[in-house]
Amino acid sequence: MSGDPENSEHPEPPERAATTARADEFLAGLRDWLAIPSIGVDPAHHGDVARSAAWLAEALRADGWPDVRVWDEGPAQPAVYAHWPSADPDAPVVLVYGHHDVQPVDPVERWTRPPFEPTLVGEELFGRGASDDKGQVAMHLLGVRAHLAATGRTTPAVTLKLFVEGEEEGGSPHIARTLADHGPELDCDLVVFTDTPLYSREAPTVCTGQRGVYGAEVVVTGGATDVHSGRAGGSIPNPATALARLVAALHDEDGRVQLPGFYDHVVLPTDVERADYASLPFDEQVWLTNSGRARGLSGESGWSTLERVWVRPTAEVNGLVAGYTGPGLKTVVPADARVKLSFRLVPGQRPEHVAEALREFVDAHTPEGLSAEIVSRGDGVPPYAVDVAHPAVGAVRDALEGALGKPVRFSRTGGSGPAAVLHETLRVPVVYFGVALPDDNIHAPDERVVVPLLLSGAEALAVLWRTLPERLASGEPPA
């Protein structure tokens, strides 16, 4: 941090000073919020999800947000909505998306510190939800306070709306209904989606897209019961053998998925994005260690590891079972065999189209004498990617560069989220803003967040709200 702005050759940005002045209060509040075990997927903690929503609503009111509501009419877990109109009549309307539910903490015995007793160790804050996503939602509250303090405004330079749902960790099963029920309140010009990481602290990035996902279980059935293999083996079709052949046929020798038409409408990343991916530091051994201590890289030929994870679609076997799996040997031809599959999707693909292609693929690989059933696991999540030439993307990147003091490149994430649903329902672009790190242990024991990154993120948000109206008006793309 620099010293006295009047005497320094490089004065401290006002947004940084405003953020720093409120850092202790911010951290104390975040720790209080993290202590609430708002595990949305666990019915035993649904009361805690309601307490978490109430905490956030009260914090927003204390910060001066004039319109704050808790949407708890069901069937969704309680969500928080807030609205702070700008005094500028032509100000753009920005909706900030995040979530306040958190993952379960099992196995709790692997936590070094109690998951709901937030602990500060150096510059790292440990606790469930510290990174995903309470820390980053709280960062937005600090960013608004810093924006007003730095500019002397009494209202933001943009009209801000906040939508913080309570069931993202369960796949946001009711978000489409919530968006439909509250369409007028959520009407906006732009969505800022806050639930994504930087590539690393040393090589920060702004995310520009997330993959979608479709999951299904395939059950291949022969007879009504298992049959002694000495009596019937070799005379009737074996569901396990048929399923093994089906699974083996999912990919060709180059790692490409063999569902019919799977790649027909895939939208490729831009040359600018691919150049940024290639310029990011990548350590193969570190990647393997962080990927379950895997022993080697694999995937679709012609694409880098980062591209395989961020911008290429996949088919993965998540579970495979058939026949007898207990101790010892039981010589049977199993009555059925089943496999759980998931497909990560990229822009241009749709879950419902992949479901149709899977049906065609399974039918083609089911031998006579066997039947195959496909059970979809929900409707799936569509993919989404924003146009990197959109001026809001440039505004986000520039704000982060100023706050972090490092060049910011483009990245994507291989996971999924409701960005596409927000985009398709609200019919506006969705840009990403996140300062978490890939090694924050989200969904795992000892989740943490790096507090200086949250403070830098709040500073960048304060700058973003000041600069965004002019950037959107001018249509200025990223530099």
For 64, half-sphere exposure in the C-beta direction (CA atoms, 13 angstrom radius) is: 13
Q: For 332-356, what is the mean pLDDT?
A: 97
CATH H-level superfamily of 14-210+383-474: Zn peptidases (3.40.630.10)
Dist. CA 434–CA 454, nearest whole Å: 9
Q: Is the pLDDT of residue 26 over 60?
A: yes
Share of the chain above pLDDT 70, in %: 97
Q: Where are the domains of the chain?
A: 14-210+383-474, 212-266+313-376
3 state DSSP class of 119: strand
3 state DSSP class of 69: strand
Taking each helix axis as running N to C, give the angle between helix 451-474 and helix 391-404, from 0 to 180 degrees, rounded to the nearest 10: 140
DSSP conformation class of 257: B
Q: Which residues contact 241 (CB under 8 A, 6 or more apart)?
A: none
The pLDDT tens digits of the residues spanning 245-266 come to 999 999 999 999 999 999 999 9
Q: Which residues contact 23 (CB under 8 A, 6 or more apart)?
A: 455
pLDDT at 478: 57
Q: Is the pLDDT of residue 476 over 70?
A: no
* Choice between 11 and 171, residue whose per-residue pLDDT is larger: 171
- Classified by CATH at the fold level, domain 212-266+313-376 comes out as Alpha-Beta Plaits (3.30.70)
Dist. CA 207–CA 409, nearest whole Å: 9
3 state DSSP class of 301: coil
pLDDT at 4: 42
Q: Is the pLDDT of residue 86 over 90?
A: yes
State both tokens at 205: 């990035």
Q: Which residues contact 134 (CB under 8 A, 6 or more apart)?
A: 30, 33, 34, 52, 100, 102
Taking each helix axis as running N to C, give the angle between helix 134-151 and helix 14-21, from 0 to 180 degrees, rounded to the nearest 10: 120
Q: Is the pLDDT of residue 7 over 60?
A: no
- C-alpha distances (whole Å) from 165 to each of 72, 96, 386, 423 are 10, 11, 22, 16
Q: For 83-95, what is the mean pLDDT?
A: 97
The pLDDT tens digits of the residues spanning 139-152 come to 999 999 999 999 99
Q: For 156-176, what is the mean pLDDT?
A: 95
**Quick one: which of 28, 52, 55 has its CA closest to 38?**
52
pLDDT at 296: 96
Dist. CA 298–CA 188, nearest whole Å: 42
Q: Is the pLDDT of residue 112 over 70?
A: yes
Q: Is the pLDDT of residue 134 over 50?
A: yes
Dist. CA 33–CA 425, nearest whole Å: 30
Q: Which residue has the tokens 């694409």?
A: 303
The pLDDT tens digits of the residues spanning 267-285 come to 999 999 999 999 999 999 9
Residues 254, 259, 260, 263, CA torsion sign: negative
Phi, psi dihedral angles at 395 (to 5 degrees): -65, -40
Task: Check if the beta carbon of residue 40 is closer than 8 Å to that of residue 169.
Answer: yes
pLDDT at 47: 97
Task: Check if the beta carbon of residue 419 is closer than 8 Å to that of residue 430.
Answer: yes
Task: Check if the beta carbon of residue 305 is closer than 8 Å to that of residue 411.
Answer: no
Q: Is the pLDDT of residue 46 over 80?
A: yes
pLDDT at 434: 96
pTM score:
0.91
pLDDT at 74: 84
**Chain centre to alpha carbon of residue 348:** 19
Distance separating the N- and C-terminal Cα atoms of the chain: 26
pLDDT grade for 11, boundaries at 50, 70 and 90: confident
Give the chain's mean pLDDT.
Answer: 95
Q: To which H or E segment does residue 282 belong?
A: none
Q: Which residue has the tokens 């070094």?
A: 112
Dist. CA 304–CA 301, nearest whole Å: 8
Task: Check if the beta carbon of residue 292 is closer than 8 Å to that of residue 286.
Answer: no
The pLDDT tens digits of the residues spanning 289-301 come to 888 899 999 999 9
Could you count the other beta carbons within 10 Å of the beta carbon of residue 272? 14
Dist. CA 168–CA 121, nearest whole Å: 28
pLDDT at 364: 97
